[in-house]
Structure 1
Amino acid sequence: MSYSEIPNQPPAYSDVGVTGESSQPRTFGDNIPDDFKYSVDVASCELPIRQLFIRKVYSLLTLQLMATVVVGFIIRSSDGIKLWSLENTWLLFVSMLGAIGCMIGAFIKARSYPINLILLGCFTVFEAYGIGVVCAFVESEVLIQALLLTLVIFVGLTLFAFQTKYDFTSWQGAVGMVLWGLIAWGFIMMFFPGQTGMMEKVYCFIGAAVFCVYIVIDTQNIMKTAHLDDEVISTIKLYLDILNLFLFILRILNNERD
């Protein structure tokens, strides 16, 4: 008896992923085949599908960075807006809480379209406002230097992550522990101001180094472990890596100038 003669035979391809896990249809169309939408790592896909995923991630990341620069420029270019932001510091805390809430929502709804893109946009606006307020009171020369240094370092680390054969994703646990140590150190410095310049410099250099490593790790995750519907999650991770690296570099340069 041939395959076609077996009664009630299920179709050769269903909504079950190639790894055997069931998937759900996306709520927004794209040109990725249904069988490759869930439970499939980018590394296991063919080259055109990998390239499509990477283009989506870096396109979203570029839009985020452009929006951040525009919001920061608007805040910085107007003395009235700068004065208003100083008089309404509550909005800065609202933007921080809003960014955290939208980020959590984007992770939860990472595969629900277009809700995930809406949450990503809101997260970017909240983050951009906070970054804009921070940068509004920094000298232009220092700000430009920090931007250029961050851009050069990010591009260099991205190219390195794409071509190296060493797997930096195995460093993720160790780097995460260092990051939590930095967070604890930062809280201590907040409650005990007046730290020496050397302590501040060491803190900033370690922070910049940590997020340099995170850029490499998250870039390799995009190529190896991310799923094809994780473009929003991957974009947020890289965006936060870049912002934190920029803030640490800005802090180093500003301290040197003072």
Structure 2
Amino acid sequence: MCEGYMIGVATSLSDTGIVLEAFGITLILFLGLTLFAFQSKYDFTSWVGVLNCALWGLISIGFIWFFFKPSSTTELVYSSIGAIVFSGYILVDTQLVMRKFNIEEEVPAAITLYLDVINLFLNILRILATQRDD
């Protein structure tokens, strides 16, 4: 519920063109990453540790930003790293859905992929908004 509210606020504060562009980029990235994860013989689940560390780093930086306003360049770098991290999570979680989850875990698996896509969208939206503001 909070995620839906956050998306609503983020999209209402952005230009409609930027939101649609972010949606299109997110859709293309998600489809491409999912197809790549399906056909790849490489096991992306080994990336979980690195992705978790990167995510905690992003969360820590986000807390610091409560006290210090970031520059547009810093925000662009932060959002780019966030987009890369959540792209990695899409690869990992897609392979987990394919190989590790069993039939009883369909709902948690779907929620996990949903959150990956939403966070990728929000980071791409922030990248596009930052570039338009400059």
TM-score between the two structures when normalised by the length of structure 1? 0.50
Shift of 1:196: 2.3
* DSSP 3-state at the match of 1:191: coil
**Does 2:25 correspond to 1:165?**
no
Identify which of 103, 127, 133 aligns with 2:9: 133
How far does residue 128 in structure 1 lie from its aligned partner after superposition? 2.5
Superposition pairs for residues 205-224 of structure 1, below 5 Å? 205-224=80-99
SS in 1 for 2:104: coil
Give structure 1 stretches of 5+ with no counterpart: 1-94, 97-126
Rate the CA distance shift 1:200–1:133 in 2: closer, same or farther, 3 A.
closer
Give the C-alpha shift of residue 129 in structure 1.
3.2
Letter in 1 for 2:80: F
| Structure 1 residues 11-160: aligned runs within 5 Å | 95-96=1-2, 127-160=3-36
RMSD: 1.0
Deviation at 1:130, TM superposition (A): 2.9
Question: Which segments of 5 or more consecutive residues in structure 2 lack a partner in the other structure?
Answer: none
Shift of 1:134: 1.9
Which has the larger share of helix? Answer: 2
Q: CA deviation at 1:149?
A: 0.2
Deviation at 1:150, TM superposition (A): 0.2
Distance 1:155 1:187 in 2: 31
Alpha-carbon deviation of 1:197?
2.2
Aligned position for 1:235: 110
Larger-Rg structure: 1
> For the residues of structure 2 that align with 1:192 and 1:252, how far apart are their CA atoms?
19
TM-aligned CA deviation for residue 136 of structure 1: 1.2
1:204 is the counterpart of 2:79:
yes
Tell me, in whole angstroms, the C-alpha distance in 2 between the residues paired with 1:254 and 1:190: 20
Partner of 1:185: 61
Q: Does 1:257 align with 2:132?
A: yes
**Partner Cα distance (2:123, 2:90) in 1:** 14
Higher relative contact order (CA 8 A, sep 6+): 2
1:199 counterpart letter in structure 2: T
Partner amino acid for 1:151?
Answer: L
Residue identity opposite 1:182 in structure 2: L
Q: Give CA deviations for 1:11-41 in whole Å, capped at 9, x if unaligned.
A: xxxxxxxxxxxxxxxxxxxxxxxxxxxxxxx
Distance 2:48 2:22 in 1: 26
| Distance apart, 1:133 and its partner CA | 2.4
Find the aligned partners of 1:154 and 1:170 in 2 and give their Cα distance. 20
Aligned pairs, number: 133
- The Cα offsets for residues 156-214 of structure 1, whole Å up to 9 and x where unpaired, read as 00000000000000110111011001100111112111x22221111110000000000
Give the SS at the match of 1:226.
coil
Cα distance in 1 for residues equivalent to 2:72 and 2:130: 8
TM-score of the aligned structures, taking structure 2 as reference length: 0.95
